[in-house]
């Protein structure tokens, strides 16, 4: 059993979980988080299953988009709600069980010690379980693409495990609704010389998370979304 | 002659329709002038050749195609930007609904 220092049971910490059709795992994910804090915000991105109902039954905050907007939009909704409730630290945490709750406290402590604005989880500094080779290659290619296009030097460019300060969340807004949001935040950090740390985390791939997660063919779509996002401004 | 008359009639109907349903008066008159210009070109096509030669373009039809292409590209860019803006507005609206409903749920 993992024990946490009293300093972590802090009403200023909010955990945002964006979910879309995660009825089979959301209950378990929330169950792992509730020992840490009651400040959990599940944003249901208009799921067709019982994601909202299951989350509501646990007593956490549940926001539901009336239409499907994408993970980026869902995270931004949760972040804005967390800020309105007075959050000082906001954790973004995947709903599908890929992330380890045990990484959260050490990452938060590292963020506080570093006095930076955001901690980015990195599976390549940490470890992965069950990562298919094709997915690994795609992620590595994404890292190289990010560096080549001026997106910055990061060891993991598609990890949803982050802890940001209120200061960061007040200034950065996800504009990309869908999967390109992951690249968007890195570009923002690079272009604005935001101080950050990368923190080793463990990412576990299950059949469910592989099925509902990023398809390799979506990489091209992410590039198009980013280009269109820049062109349309 | 008959095709020119038919085309002129179609352009005239489009001009009237546009003038009635465009709410901005200035834009309505501008579009009416463009349609009038199109009818003029239908009956006096050589005018485009004269204008084209003056601009260093070989044929009148090339001039018309270039102008139409420029208009279409600009309209497309405007539409893309407009759609992106609307998308952002819809996102803000959906977010507002989610937060308002969500805050009510939690207090229950």
Q: What is the DSSP string of B27-58?
A: HHHHHHHHHHHHHHHHH-THHHHHHHHHTT-S
Residues of chain B with Cβ-Cβ distance to A73 below 8 Å are 91, 94-95
In this complex, the residue of A76, A81, A232 whose CB is nearest that of residue B102 is: A81
Give the per-residue pLDDT at B104.
67
Q: What pTM does this model have?
A: 0.79
User: Mean per-residue pLDDT for A4-19?
Assistant: 75
User: Mean per-residue pLDDT for B81-89?
Assistant: 93
User: Mean per-residue pLDDT for B69-97?
Assistant: 92
Give the per-residue pLDDT at B76.
92
Measure the CA–CA gap between A177 and A163, rounded to whole angstroms: 19
Give the per-residue pLDDT at A227.
61
Residues of chain B with Cβ-Cβ distance to A229 below 8 Å are 84
Burial classification of residue A41, based on how many CB atoms lie within 10 Å of its CB (0-12 exposed, 13-18 middle, 19 or more buried): buried
- Flag whether the ipTM exceeds 0.90: no
In this complex, the residue of B85, B91, B106 whose CB is nearest that of residue A69 is: B91
Residues of chain B with Cβ-Cβ distance to A181 below 8 Å are none
- Quick check: A180 and A72 in contact, CB under 8 A? yes
Burial classification of residue B105, based on how many CB atoms lie within 10 Å of its CB (0-12 exposed, 13-18 middle, 19 or more buried): middle
Give the per-residue pLDDT at A152.
87
User: Mean per-residue pLDDT for B77-102?
Assistant: 93
CB pairs under 8 A between A and B: 50
User: Mean per-residue pLDDT for A125-152?
Assistant: 86
Residues of chain B with Cβ-Cβ distance to A63 below 8 Å are 98-99, 101-102
pLDDT in tens, A151-175: 789 999 889 999 999 999 999 999 9
Q: Which of A108, A40, A137, A148 is nearest to B102 (CA)?
A: A40
- Quick check: A155 and A203 in contact, CB under 8 A? no
Q: Tell me if A62 and B94 make a contact (CB, 8 A cut-off).
A: no
Spell out the residues 6+ positions from residue A233 whose beta carbon is closer than 8 angstroms to its own: none
Least confident range from A155-169, A214-228, B20-34, B43-57: namely A214-228
Give one DSSP letter per residue of A181-202, joined into a string.
HHHHHHHHHHHTT--EEEEEEE
Q: Tell me if A63 and B102 make a contact (CB, 8 A cut-off).
A: yes
How close is the nearest chain A Cα to the Cα of B23, in Å? Answer: 26
What angle separates helix A133-148 from helix A181-191, to the nearest 10 degrees?
Answer: 30
Residues of chain A with Cβ-Cβ distance to B87 below 8 Å are 177
Q: Tell me if A66 and B95 make a contact (CB, 8 A cut-off).
A: no
Per-residue confidence band for A215, with pLDDT thresholds at 50, 70 and 90: low
């Amino acid at each position: 059993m993992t024990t946490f220092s009293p300093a972590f049971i802090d009403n200023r910490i909010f955990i945002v979980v964006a979910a879309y059709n995660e009825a089979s795992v959301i209950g378990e994910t929330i169950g792992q988080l509730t020992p840490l804090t009651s400040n959990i915000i599940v944003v249901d991105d208009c799921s067709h299953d019982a994601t909202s109902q299951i989350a509501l039954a646990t007593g956490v905050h549940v926001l539901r988009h009336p239409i499907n907007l994408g993970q980026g939009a869902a995270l931004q909704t949760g972040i804005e709600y967390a800020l309105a409730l007075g959050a000082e630290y906001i954790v973004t945490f995947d709903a599908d069980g890929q992330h380890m709750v045990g990484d959260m406290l050490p990452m938060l402590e590292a963020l506080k010690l570093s006095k930076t604005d955001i901690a980015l989880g990195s599976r390549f500094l940490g470890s992965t379980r069950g990562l298919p080779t094709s997915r690994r290659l795609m992620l590595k290619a994404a890292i190289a693409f990010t560096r080549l296009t001026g997106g910055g030097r990061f060891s993991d460019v598609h990890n949803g495990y982050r802890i940001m300060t209120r200061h960061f969340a007040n200034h950065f807004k996800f504009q990309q609704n869908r999967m390109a949001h992951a690249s968007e935040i890195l570009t923002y950090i690079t272009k604005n010389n935001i101080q950050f740390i990368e923190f080793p985390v463990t990412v576990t791939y299950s059949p469910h998370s592989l099925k509902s997660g990023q398809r390799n063919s979506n990489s091209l779509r992410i590039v198009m979304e980013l280009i269109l996002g820049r062109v349309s401004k | 002659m008959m095709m020119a008359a038919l085309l002129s009639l179609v352009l005239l109907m489009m001009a009237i329709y546009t003038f009635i349903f465009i709410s901005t008066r200035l834009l309505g008159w501008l579009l009416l002038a463009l349609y009038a210009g199109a009818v003029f070109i239908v009956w006096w096509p050589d005018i485009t050749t004269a204008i084209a030669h003056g601009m260093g373009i070989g044929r009148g039809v090339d001039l018309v195609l270039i102008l139409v292409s420029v208009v279409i590209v600009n309209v497309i860019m405007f539409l893309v930007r407009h759609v992106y803006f609307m998308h952002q507005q819809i996102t803000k609206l959906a977010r507002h609904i989610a937060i308002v409903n969500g805050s009510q749920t939690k207090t229950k």
